[in-house]
Amino acid sequence: MELTRRAAMLTSAAIAASVNLPEAALAQETPRRGGVMTVHFATEQRILNPSLQASTGVYIVGGKIQEPLVDLDAAGNPAPCLAESWESSADGLTITFKLRQGVTWHDGRPFTSADVQFTAMEMWKKILNYGTAVQLFLEAVETPDAYTAVFKYSKPMPLGLLLRALPDLGYVSPKHIYEGTDIRQNPANTAPIGTGPFKFVQYERGQFIIAERNPNYWRPNLPYLDRVVWRVISDRSAAAAQMEAGQILYSPFSSLALSDLARLGRDPRFEVTTKGNEGNPRTNTLEFNFRNPILADIRVRKALAHAINIPFFIENFLSPEYAKLGTGPIPSVSTDFYPTTPMPQYPYDKAAAIRLLTEAGHRPGAGGVRFTLRLTPAPWGEDIGLFSTFIQQSLGEVGIRVEIVRLDAAGFLRTVYNDWNFDLATGWHQYRNDPAVSTTVWYRTGSPRGAPWTNQYGVADAEMDAIIDSAATELDPVRRKARYADFVRRGNSELLLWNPVEQLFLSAFSRKLRNHANTPRWGSSSWHDLWIAP
């Protein structure tokens, strides 16, 4: 792979040299009203409602149309949105939200506590891929008046956990649109009605999505933009060309090729930066289908990890300045929860991999092949495709034939999380401020079949379930952090899932944009204050 290696090394160096930060001085300019924000939309997931599916691919559109109870401010702290204030009982069993008054849905109906009650109980608790775990012990949402929602839990809910979860898992949908319908099949899932700064206009699959300014938005004199247009472009080179031609102003979440990001970063018309993605650090994953008896054997899972030279992959195929060796499901940027003691790891050791495979009874057969596995990579970013090929080549060197099955976004989600028709999968795990928000759900049993980025791997570990539930309901921060160290230790020692690389997303922006990347989850946020300079 020498030619690929040289090209990758040049790309890594170019990205590291060209990534830059937005200029603070631009914040002093007077906002300009009007204009059209054009966005690169790389992976259609065929749903736009973030109350039903937590994903950056959904937030990038739905987060402009619908709004959560709580968002994050520039410093990453919980900030009021549809909820103006909140308080918790001392025992953590009751959390009360005071809702914003005078807010209307895009169809003119008033937003009330009934909408929060319906969404929490029927969507977050029953359907939302991460919400089902976070709201596992939610028993009821009481509505003593139109602007008060009282969440009742059977086990303590740490207020800090809930507030960290709600920016991603607290989007509200209109009860009057969904009640009495098949929620999963409701037409509003692809033509959403929200309270946000932009109103849905049109969705042409494979082409574009359009939303226009909400003239009745509750934030005075906002938004600045006339409309937002998401252009569906799966071809990364075509997307980069449209950016250079001025037809796209923003490409989010590492959607462009690494070489194109490097080139755009050197062009004075663009910014390429990790800023605005601090709230979504990610790890590359290798996921095992435990229904395959070969992979149910921990010796085989450990052998697979030992066979893959992760430091070589990072150094030669990624940008080492923005990617590093992963140590587990909680990334190092999570200062509140990252374990302070070393956890079990699986460094590159080809001899150990061969020994473990032989101990497991898998000796080389015809052509030196021990067995064959199907690997299904997620189609989110170039690094996933590169990693899948690197896995294939690495495992081939220890006698494992890997067949790569490449699918579009909808096909990947269906095949892995609904049909379970895979052996290995590789993609991204995104960490969202607290392990209980979007991390432990990859390990805990009980998520509905088909819920993306949850434990659909056939893992049934009662000890892990107990650790996860104990940590999620622990009110003392010190004890809670200790339980999450237990979680990482158990997950790593059993190798239920492997997180070998830790990264931040790279975004490409036109320098015409103002008030961009000004929150840690900016790509997912509402863009109510975004404007475009001449």
**pTM of the shown model:** 0.86
- Please tell me the predicted confidence (pLDDT) of residue 18: 54
pLDDT, tens digit, for every residue of 330-355?
999 998 999 999 999 999 999 999 99
Q: Where are the domains of the chain?
A: 18-49+196-276+506-532, 67-180, 282-503
CATH topology identical between 18-49+196-276+506-532 and 282-503:
no
DSSP state string for 208-271:
EEEEEE-TT-SSTT----SEEEEEE---HHHHHHHHHTTS-SEE-TT-S-HHHHHHHHHSTTEE
Fold of 18-49+196-276+506-532: D-Maltodextrin-Binding Protein; domain 2 (3.40.190)
CA dihedral 149, 153, 157, 163 (to 10 degrees): -20
What residue type is assigned to position 186 of the chain? N
- Please tell me the predicted confidence (pLDDT) of residue 11: 47
pLDDT, tens digit, for every residue of 362-420?
999 999 999 999 999 999 989 999 999 999 999 999 999 999 999 999 999 999 999 99
- Please tell me the predicted confidence (pLDDT) of residue 79: 97
Instruction: List the beta bridge partners of residue 97.
Output: 86, 149
pLDDT, tens digit, for every residue of 412-455?
999 999 999 999 999 999 999 899 999 999 999 999 999 999 99
pLDDT for residue 17 is more than 60? no
First vs last Cα of the chain: how many Å apart?
Answer: 46
pLDDT for residue 66 is more than 60? yes
Question: Across all residues in the chain, what is the average pLDDT?
Answer: 94
DSSP state string for 434-447:
SHHHHTGGGT-S-P
DSSP state string for 356-368:
HHHHTT----GGG
- Please tell me the predicted confidence (pLDDT) of residue 218: 98
pLDDT, tens digit, for every residue of 228-271?
999 999 999 999 999 999 999 999 999 999 899 999 999 999 99
- Please tell me the predicted confidence (pLDDT) of residue 534: 94
pLDDT for residue 13 is more than 80? no
Give the helix/strand (H/E) hosting 531: strand 531-532
pLDDT, tens digit, for every residue of 259-307?
999 999 999 999 999 999 998 899 999 999 999 999 999 999 999 999 9
Instruction: Provide mean pLDDT across the span 186-214.
Output: 97
Pull the structure tokens for residue 519.
């929150």
- Please tell me the predicted confidence (pLDDT) of residue 172: 98
- Please tell me the predicted confidence (pLDDT) of residue 24: 43
- Please tell me the predicted confidence (pLDDT) of residue 381: 87
- Please tell me the predicted confidence (pLDDT) of residue 20: 52
Instruction: Provide mean pLDDT across the span 149-163.
Output: 97
Let me know if domain 282-503 sits in CATH 3.40.50.10070.
no
**Nearest-angstrom CA–CA distance, 208 and 229:** 7
Q: How confident is the model at residue 46 (pLDDT cuts 50, 70, 90)?
A: confident
pLDDT for residue 227 is more than 70? yes
Strands 323-325 and 198-204: unpaired
Cβ contacts of 77 within 8 Å, gap of 6 or more: none
- Please tell me the predicted confidence (pLDDT) of residue 158: 97
**Nearest-angstrom CA–CA distance, 251 and 529:** 18
Instruction: Provide mean pLDDT across the span 516-520.
Output: 97
The CA-CA-CA angle for residues 378, 342, 321, to 5°, reads 50
Instruction: Provide mean pLDDT across the span 111-139.
Output: 97
Strands 94-99 and 78-80: unpaired
- The secondary structure of 165-220, three-state, reads HHHHHCECCCHHHHCCCCHHHCHHHCCCCCCCCEEEEEEECCCEEEEEECCCCCCC
Instruction: List the beta bridge partners of residue 41.
Output: 232
Q: How confident is the model at residue 23 (pLDDT cuts 50, 70, 90)?
A: very low
- Please tell me the predicted confidence (pLDDT) of residue 19: 54
pLDDT, tens digit, for every residue of 141-154?
999 999 999 999 99
DSSP state string for 103-139:
-B-TTSPBP-HHHHHHHIIIIITTT-TTHHHHTTTEE
CATH C-level class of 67-180: alpha beta
- Please tell me the predicted confidence (pLDDT) of residue 320: 80
